[in-house]
């Protein structure tokens, strides 16, 4: 999750500043300045928080490599969730750092644009074994149709955190309905996420085409571990 000051503790690690600088050249703005000083309202915007998350994650791996080289060099597999998938691809050398940042830029811009088409968002819901969350989601969508004339409303589970917690995403009206009527569906607590749209739902469909087009022009290599490759930003961990 993005926060003002992210990356601050990594700046003493060799190549981290260059990592941010090279990303900034591709993005067209000073990413490190935004990460360190915000403002938070800007950093929370999809178009900025996705690149900030990816680059700061790679910078954190630089720190890990400096502190415990074998933890990185002996890595057997990596995994990423959502935009973290691109982080994982860069780490393994499946895609280069410049191409990875370009993908993140296009992805973030497309998802930001999709978010602006419809009032939407995400929130964590905390539930017990007796929950009626599936019913709540159905009723919330019906509420959107009947009370707000939304033709194809979305209110659904976007992420499964653990047994007692899910992330629900969709139309703002549906999320508000769940918040206001949570006791009816045995929802113990809700907490809004600092994001600008309903990610991992059909409301992001407009972002699919531009990202798909960008992928067509991205060179993807076989991921390889234990071989050092030094990208333009002087990557010091075994990226491929």
Residues with catalytic roles: 82, 200
With 0-12 CB in 10 A as exposed, 13-18 as middle and 19+ as buried, what is 177? buried
Contacts of 138 (CB under 8 A, 6+ apart): none
Q: What is the DSSP string of 130-163?
A: T--HHHHHHHHHHHHHHHH--SS--EEEEEEEET
- On whether the CB atoms of residues 139 and 160 are closer than 8 A, the answer is no
State the sign of the Cα–Cα–Cα–Cα dihedral 88, 94, 96, 101: negative
């Amino acid at each position: 999750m993005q926060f003002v000051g992210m990356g601050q503790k990594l700046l003493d690690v060799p190549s981290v500043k260059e990592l941010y600088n090279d990303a900034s050249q591709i993005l067209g703005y000073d990413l490190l300045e935004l990460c360190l000083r915000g403002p938070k309202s800007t950093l929370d915007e999809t178009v900025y928080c996705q690149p900030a998350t990816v680059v700061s994650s790679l910078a954190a791996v630089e720190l890990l490599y400096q502190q415990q080289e074998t933890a990185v060099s002996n890595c057997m597999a990596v995994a990423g969730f959502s935009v973290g998938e691109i982080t994982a691809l860069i780490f393994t050398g499946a895609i280069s750092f410049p191409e990875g940042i370009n993908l993140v830029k296009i992805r973030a811009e497309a998802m930001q644009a999709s978010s602006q088409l419809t009032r939407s968002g995400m929130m964590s819901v905390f539930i017990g074994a007796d929950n009626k969350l599936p019913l709540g989601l159905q009723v919330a969508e019906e509420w959107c149709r009947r009370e707000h004339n939304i033709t194809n409303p979305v209110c659904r589970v976007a992420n499964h955190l653990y047994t007692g917690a899910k992330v629900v995403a969709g139309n703002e009206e549906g999320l508000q309905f769940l918040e206001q009527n949570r006791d009816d569906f045995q929802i113990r607590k809700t907490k809004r996420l600092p994001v600008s749209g309903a990610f991992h739902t059909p409301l992001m469909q407009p972002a699919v085409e531009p990202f798909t087009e960008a992928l067509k022009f991205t060179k993807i290599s076989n991921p390889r571990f234990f071989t050092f490759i030094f990208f333009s930003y002087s990557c010091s961990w075994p990226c491929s």
